[in-house]
C-alpha cells in the first residue's frame, strides 16, 4: 500500500479543501497506437510529467485523464512505466500540484496489463471503458471495493455512512476512506467526506 504522507494519524483523513472552481484544468494525454517496451513508456511518462509540471505554477488540482482509446497494444512493461510509475510518483511524493488519475477508453486487454502492474505495486486506478463503464482496478480488498461501489452509486461518502455501509466502526470506516484517498481514486473534502475522481465534474445530488 502507499504510505500516505498527508495522514496525520492512522485512520483519520487529513482534510484537503477542494473547491471545484479551482479545479481548472483537466490534462488529457492521448495515447496512440502500440504502447510497447519500457523506453516507449518512459518517453510517454516524461511527456505527461512535463504537462503536469506546467500546472505547478498555478497550484491547480489536476485530474489526469489517460486516454487509451487509440491504443492498440499495451504491454506490461509499458503499462508499468506509464501507469504505475506516474501514480507512484504523484502519490508518494509531495508535488506542488495535487494529481488524481483516470484512465479512459480502456479495453479489456488494456485492463489486463494495467491491473497487473497496479497489483504489483499495490496501487488503484479508476478506469472508464468506451461504453462509459467505470471500474476500480488494482490491489483492493472487500472493504475498498464495497466503499468504492457505494461511492460510484451515490457520489459522496463520509465516515459515518461508510461505517453503515461496511458494517464497521467509525475509525475503521475512516481508515478505508483514507486509504482510497491515499490511492488517489477519491478526493477528500474538508468535512471528512470523499468523492470519487470520475464524478468530480458532475453535479452532486
Partner 1 sequence: MTRIIEVPGTLDQGGFDAMVAQAAEVEEGGGAIVDASRVRFANPFGMVGLLAIGAHLGQRGKRPQLRLPTSSEVGSYLTRMRFHEEARRLYEVSGGTERSRGGGETNVLLEITPIGSHEDVHDVIDRVQDRAGTILKEKLGYPATASTHFSMMLSEVCQNIIEHAEADGWVGIQSYKWKKTLGREVVVIAVMDLGVGFRGSLEREHAAHHGDRWSDATALEAAFLHGTTRFRDPGRGQGIKQIRARVHRWGGKISIRSGTARITDVPEWDDAPPLQTELARFPGSQIQIVLPAVAPLGDAAGS
List alpha helices for 93-195, DSSP H: 108-121, 142-154, 159-166, 170-182
The site map against partner 1 for 102-131 (x = CB under 8 A) is ------xx--xx--xx--xx----------
Shortest distance (Å) from residue 184 CB to partner 1: 18
> How far apart are the C-alpha atoms of 104 and 155, rounded to whole Å?
19
For partner 1, give the closer residue by CB, 87 or 163. Answer: 87
**Is 74 a residue that touches partner 1 (CB under 8 A)?**
yes
Shortest distance (Å) from residue 80 CB to partner 1: 4
> How far apart are the C-alpha atoms of 145 and 135, rounded to whole Å?
10
Residue 21's alpha-carbon distances to 24, 25, 27, 151, 187, in angstroms, are 7, 10, 16, 22, 15
For partner 1, give the closer residue by CB, 44 or 174. Answer: 44
Q: Which three cell numbers stand for residue 101?
A: 488519475
User: 3-state class of 34 per DSSP?
Assistant: strand
The only residue of 17, 30, 37, 59 in contact with partner 1, by rule CB under 8 A: 37
Nearest alpha-carbon partner for 99 in 138, 60, 157, 137: 60
**Is 75 a residue that touches partner 1 (CB under 8 A)?**
yes
For partner 1, give the closer residue by CB, 39 or 167. Answer: 39
| Number of residues counted as binding partner 1 (CB under 8 A) | 24
- What are the residues binding partner 1 (CB under 8 A)? 34, 36-40, 72-77, 80-81, 84-85, 108-109, 112-113, 116-117, 120-121
Amino acid at each position: 500500500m502507499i504510505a500516505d504522507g498527508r495522514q496525520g494519524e492512522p485512520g483519520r483523513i487529513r482534510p484537503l479543501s477542494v473547491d471545484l472552481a479551482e479545479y481548472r484544468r483537466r490534462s488529457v494525454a492521448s495515447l496512440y497506437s502500440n504502447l510497447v517496451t519500457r523506453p516507449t513508456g518512459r518517453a510517454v511518462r516524461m511527456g505527461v510529467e512535463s504537462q503536469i509540471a506546467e500546472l505547478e505554477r498555478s497550484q491547480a488540482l489536476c485530474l489526469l485523464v489517460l486516454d487509451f482509446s487509440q491504443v492498440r497494444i499495451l504491454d506490461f512493461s509499458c503499462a508499468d512505466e506509464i501507469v504505475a510509475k506516474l501514480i507512484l510518483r504523484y502519490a508518494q511524493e509531495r508535488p506542488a500540484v495535487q494529481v488524481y488519475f483516470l484512465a479512459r477508453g480502456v479495453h479489456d486487454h488494456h485492463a489486463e496489463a494495467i491491473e497487473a502492474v497496479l497489483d504489483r505495486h499495490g496501487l488503484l486506478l479508476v478506469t472508464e471503458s468506451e461504453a462509459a463503464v467505470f471500474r476500480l482496478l488494482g490491489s483492493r480488498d472487500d472493504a475498498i471495493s464495497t466503499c468504492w461501489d457505494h461511492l460510484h452509486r451515490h457520489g459522496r461518502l463520509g465516515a459515518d455512512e461508510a461505517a453503515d455501509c461496511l458494517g464497521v466502526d467509525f475509525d475503521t470506516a475512516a481508515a478505508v476512506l483514507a486509504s482510497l484517498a491515499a490511492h488517489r481514486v477519491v478526493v477528500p473534502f474538508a468535512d471528512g467526506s470523499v468523492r470519487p475522481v470520475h464524478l468530480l465534474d458532475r453535479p452532486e445530488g
